[in-house]
């Protein structure tokens, strides 16, 4: 049976989408084709800003900007004959490649039958045939590196754990996704839970682990619900438990909930949390692969890594290794957000440039403003200026620029974003989320944040810039875990690439982007003012008074520089300085 997946990619055509769906189903029924084709409304096909879009399976044709007039042609040529209609087909400029998100929006995530129909659990079947050593060899050929941030080779981590002798071993799926604006793991857990379970099983087989854990933050109730349902169904079908698929492989899985602590994304803190302890990191070595959960060898992989694993074992490591670059194989899922026209999840082959992601896939910057920078890697990442946007997305190239791949956050910034303000935001997040165990992170983070606040208020002095760099370097070298070691990255990268903005704050007492309220003043040009009064109505502190006849004025003593008057003025009479 063919499946016609349809979606409103503009987010504004819900009524049109419903009518299109009803009309499509009606025309299929009128022609007696209801048993040959199924119309399904989905949430994400991977195409944006193209109106009503349909993806025809199994051919994979994608048709864009559709209306009811196209339905008859699609039925006649594609449903009945399997032909592609070039006039409405998406051109080859679509640069996404879906591996991790291959089933999201296509299958019913609560149906194991749907997952099996798209070759689900074929990866674990092949892994059982190969045996642990050959599975690790296949993973080595794939070149898959951990997608949780560090980029450690997956095969090597598995091999380290496998070579440790122990009476019991564990493998953990890290679903504790804490970066602001990131929702890659949540989407996979909700949209394709069996692929992650299968990846966890394969990892268990390869390492000798007999128990697996899903560590998922409690704020993801739907993800938890769907993973639990998938686990229950897998047990009922004999895919979990004893003698899986008639083999001697035994594997049990359970869920543990995280309390939303960002530091529990770090391996040793996550392990402590599962053990029922406070989520504090501990010094390494010993590494978890030697001494992890309850003192036993433990492997931790994140959601995206495990979704890749099930694909690798089904397709073969060599086939997966053909995608990407020499040092960064496969694809990467990013949560593309910020000042970009088409925000959302994108999955792209490694090696694609930042510019292609933002402009070819994301559609460019909102309101045709000038792009300024991209921040990758969440609070632990760096800010990359526009002149480096042709850099390929790879682990090492991003590190050379002072950023990281991270778990996949990608935030686009335009000319109105202030780099001091951006650094203050991310450092504030890390200070709030610090566990406080080590002094470099606990004290250094707060001292840097106080310096940034001082600079943003126009009270900074030249020595503060030197202090920022010195404290950042100390935190990188001396902090106990990855949170403290990488928390200074936004500050270091903005100091490197946007020093002029810091100097403007310190020496000129000006914020070039007009974001720092203490350094911005507002006034009204009475010659341009029409007396509409909109500025007065939105002012939260009643600092704007006047009338249509007398025009309006701002009381600078009362003004808190919130900028709402500037945003609502259609006549550009409000002046920001």
Residue 195, judged by CB atoms within 10 A of its CB (0-12, 13-18, 19+), counts as: buried
CATH no. for 112-320: 3.40.50.11540
Counting as low any pLDDT under 50, the low residues of the chain are none
| CA atoms of 572 and 569, how far apart (whole Å) | 6
Phi-psi region of 44 (alpha: psi -120 to 50; beta: other; left: phi over 0): beta
Q: Which residues face 215 on adjacent strands?
A: 174, 256
pLDDT digits (tens, 9 = 90+) for 531-547: 999 999 999 999 999 99
Q: Residue by residue, what is the 3-state secondary structure of 346-385?
A: EEEECCCEHHHHHHHHCCCEHHHCCEEEEEECHHHCCEEE
The 8-class DSSP code of residue 287 comes to P
| CA atoms of 104 and 97, how far apart (whole Å) | 13
pTM for the whole structure: 0.86
All CATH 3.40.50.11540 domain ranges of the chain, comma separated, are 112-320
Predicted confidence at residue 407, as pLDDT, reads 81
| CA atoms of 258 and 349, how far apart (whole Å) | 31
Predicted confidence at residue 363, as pLDDT, reads 87
Superfamily of domain 2-88: Glutaredoxin (3.40.30.10)
Predicted confidence at residue 92, as pLDDT, reads 57
| CA atoms of 359 and 19, how far apart (whole Å) | 32
Which of 570, 559, 575 minimizes the C-alpha distance to 531? 570
The DSSP element (H or E) to which 411 belongs, if any, is strand 409-414
Predicted confidence at residue 554, as pLDDT, reads 95
All CATH 3.40.30.10 domain ranges of the chain, comma separated, are 2-88
For residue 498, what are its two tokens? 């946007």
Q: Which residues have a Cβ under 8 Å from the Cβ of 321 and sit 6 or more positions away?
A: 141, 142, 143, 329
Q: How far is CA 483 from CA 168, 295, 423, 486, 567, in A?
A: 30, 23, 15, 6, 36
Q: Does domain 331-414 have CATH number 1.10.10.10?
A: no
pLDDT digits (tens, 9 = 90+) for 318-360: 999 999 999 999 999 999 999 998 888 999 999 999 999 999 8
The CATH fold assigned to 521-576 is: Alpha-Beta Plaits (3.30.70)
Cα atoms in the Cβ-side hemisphere of radius 13 Å centred on 441: 24
pLDDT digits (tens, 9 = 90+) for 26-39: 999 999 998 889 99
Instruction: Report the top-level CATH class of 419-508.
Output: mainly alpha
All CATH 1.20.1440.230 domain ranges of the chain, comma separated, are 419-508
Burial string for 327-352 (b: 16+ CB within 10 Å, else e) reads ebbbbbbbbbbbbbbbbbbbbbbbbb
């Amino acid at each position: 049976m063919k499946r016609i997946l349809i979606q409103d990619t503009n987010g504004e055509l819900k009524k049109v989408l419903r009518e299109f769906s009803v009309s499509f189903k009606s025309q299929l029924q009128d022609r007696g084709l209801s048993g040959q084709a199924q119309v399904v409304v989905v949430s994400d096909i991977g195409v944006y800003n193209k109106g009503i879009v349909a993806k025809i399976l199994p051919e994979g044709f994608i048709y864009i900007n559709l209306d009811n007039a196209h339905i008859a042609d699609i039925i006649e040529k594609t449903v009945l004959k399997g032909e592609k209609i070039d006039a409405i087909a998406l051109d080859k400029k679509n640069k996404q490649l879906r591996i991790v998100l291959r089933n999201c929006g296509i299958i019913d995530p609560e149906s194991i039958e749907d997952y099996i129909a798209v070759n689900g659990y074929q990866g674990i079947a092949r892994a059982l045939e190969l045996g642990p050593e050959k599975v690790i060899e296949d993973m080595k050929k794939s070149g898959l590196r951990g997608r949780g941030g560090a980029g450690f080779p997956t095969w090597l981590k598995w091999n380290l754990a496998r070579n440790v002798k122990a009476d019991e071993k564990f493998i953990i799926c890290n679903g504790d996704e804490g970066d602001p604006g990131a929702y890659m793991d949540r989407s996979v857990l909700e949209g394709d839970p069996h692929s992650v379970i299968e990846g966890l099983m394969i990892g268990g087989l390869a390492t000798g682990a007999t128990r697996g854990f899903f560590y998922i933050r409690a704020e993801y109730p739907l993800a938890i619900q769907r993973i639990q349902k998938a686990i229950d169904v897998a047990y009922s079908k004999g895919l979990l438990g004893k003698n899986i698929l008639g083999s001697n492989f035994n594997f049990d899985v359970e869920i543990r909930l995280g309390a939303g602590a960002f530091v529990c994304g770090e391996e040793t803190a996550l392990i402590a949390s599962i053990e029922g302890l406070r989520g504090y990191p501990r010094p390494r070595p010993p590494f978890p692969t030697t001494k992890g959960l309850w003192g036993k060898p433990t492997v931790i992989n994140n959601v995206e890594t495990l979704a890749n694993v099930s694909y690798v074992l089904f397709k073969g490591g060599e086939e997966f290794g053909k995608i990407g670059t020499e040092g960064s194989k496969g694809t990467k899922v990013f949560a593309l957000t910020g000042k970009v026209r088409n925000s959302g999840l994108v999955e792209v082959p490694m090696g694609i440039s930042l510019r292609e992601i933002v402009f070819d896939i994301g559609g460019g910057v909102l309101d045709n403003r000038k792009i300024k920078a991209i921040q990758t890697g969440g609070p632990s990442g760096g800010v990359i200026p526009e002149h480096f946007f042709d850099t390929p997305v790879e682990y090492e190239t991003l590190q050379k620029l002072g950023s990281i791949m991270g778990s996949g956050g990608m935030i686009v910034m335009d000319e109105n974003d202030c780099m001091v303000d951006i650094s203050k935001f991310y450092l504030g997040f890390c200070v709030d989320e610090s566990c406080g165990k080590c002094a470099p992170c606990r004290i250094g983070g707060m001292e840097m944040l106080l310096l940034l606040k001082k600079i943003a208020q126009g009270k900074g002095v030249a020595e503060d810039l030197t202090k920022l760099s010195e404290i950042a370097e100390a935190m990188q070298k001396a902090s106990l875990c990855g949170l403290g070691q990488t928390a200074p990255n936004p500050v270091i990268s903005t100091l490197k690439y946007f020093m002029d903005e810091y100097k403007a704050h310190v020496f000129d007492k000006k914020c070039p982007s007009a974001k720092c309220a203490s350094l911005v003043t507002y006034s009204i040009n009475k010659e341009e003012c029409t007396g509409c009064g909109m500025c007065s109505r939105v002012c939260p502190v009643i600092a704007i008074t006047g009338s249509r006849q007398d025009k309006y004025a701002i009381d600078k003593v009362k003004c808190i520089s919130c900028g709402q008057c500037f945003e609502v003025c259609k006549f550009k009479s409000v002046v920001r300085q």
